Structure 1
Amino acid sequence: MTAVDNPRAPYVRQKATRSNYELYSWMFMRASGVLLLVLIFGHLFVNLMTGEGVHSIDFAFVAGKWAGPFWKVWDLLMLWLAMIHGTNGVRTIINDYASKDGTRLVLKALLYLAFTIVVVLGTLVIFTFDPCPPGATQDLLPSFCPAV
């Protein structure tokens, strides 16, 4: 017969740690979740509720938004916070459900690789986006692009 610990006994930590990483991770998830709500609903409102709604979203719409720094920073914050928030959540799930150390290592390596690829490519797109690409037809370009 196996003895079961008293459920009302205080929790005793098995391994002493000197890091508060999990605490800071938990606090980040709460703060980034609130900030992401503001960023995402602001993004949806501007893209879907103003103007003609979803029918007005095209290359010229995005080029007009990204012509100034405000929307670039907005979208960059949204990308980075969403990716860090999601990666942290999946990391927690991997820690909870992957029982073997090797499996946990491989899953986390794949997760961090995917995070890095998406963040680097997304950041490059935001900062290297050219609203007036050469060779594009004038009817697809925003009004501030010079005529070719």
Structure 2
Amino acid sequence: MTLSLDKPRTPRRPAARRSNFEMISWLFMRISGMALVVLVLGHLFIMNILDDGVHRINFAFVAGRWSSPFWQFWDLSMLWLAEIHGGNGLRTIINDYARKDTTRFWLKMMLYVSMVLILALGSYVIFTFDPNIRAD
């Protein structure tokens, strides 16, 4: 008596060409997470521990800080990495838990629109901040 194995289930059509998007997304999460640890801990140390801590933070402090391209780049990097890192994580959660294709589509569209708006507004504020604004 010989045992026969059933044929494995195969898709009816050949698999579509696969992209490396998920692998790149996974890798981005690890690299951006490490970069965010440095950026955020540096930010917290400078803002909350050095000198008088939060008591010295006011409009003049922010104006002086953003007059330097280094601090503009630091804050811009933190904004972009945090937004894309968080959006990528939320995209993964939506893919895992949204059961209907239409629900998944609209949740991701709302996510992408909100990400673009926040990145655009945050970048706009950093680049166009006017330290000489008058309070009339």
> Does TM, scored on the shorter chain, surpass 0.5?
yes
Query: What is the percent sequence identity of the aligned residues?
Result: 58
Give the structure 2 partner of residue 39 of structure 1: 39
- Rounded Cα–Cα distance in structure 1 between residues aligned with 2:70 and 2:57: 18
Gaps of 5+ in 1: 1-11, 138-148
DSSP-derived class of the 1:78 partner: helix
Question: Displacement of 1:58 after TM fit?
Answer: 0.5
- Rounded Cα–Cα distance in structure 1 between residues aligned with 2:54 and 2:10: 53
Give the structure 2 partner of residue 61 of structure 1: 61
Question: Displacement of 1:18 after TM fit?
Answer: 2.0
AA partner of residue 66 (structure 1): W
Gaps of 5+ in 2: 1-8
Higher-helix-fraction structure: 2
Question: Displacement of 1:16 after TM fit?
Answer: 4.9
Question: Displacement of 1:48 after TM fit?
Answer: 0.8
TM-score using structure 2 length: 0.87
DSSP-derived class of the 1:106 partner: helix
AA partner of residue 67 (structure 2): A
Give the structure 2 partner of residue 28 of structure 1: 28
> Cα deviations across residues 54-110 of structure 1 (Å, max 9, x unaligned)?
111100110110011000000000000000000000000000000100000000000
Pair 13,73 (structure 1): closer, same or farther in 2 beyond 3 Å: farther
Question: Displacement of 1:136 after TM fit?
Answer: 4.0
- Rounded Cα–Cα distance in structure 2 between residues aligned with 1:73 and 1:80: 10
TM-score using structure 1 length: 0.80
| 1:65-84 correspondence to structure 2 within 5 Å | 65-84=65-84
4+ runs deviating over 4 angstroms: 12-17
Give the structure 1 partner of residue 101 of structure 2: 101
CA RMSD, 1 decimal: 1.8
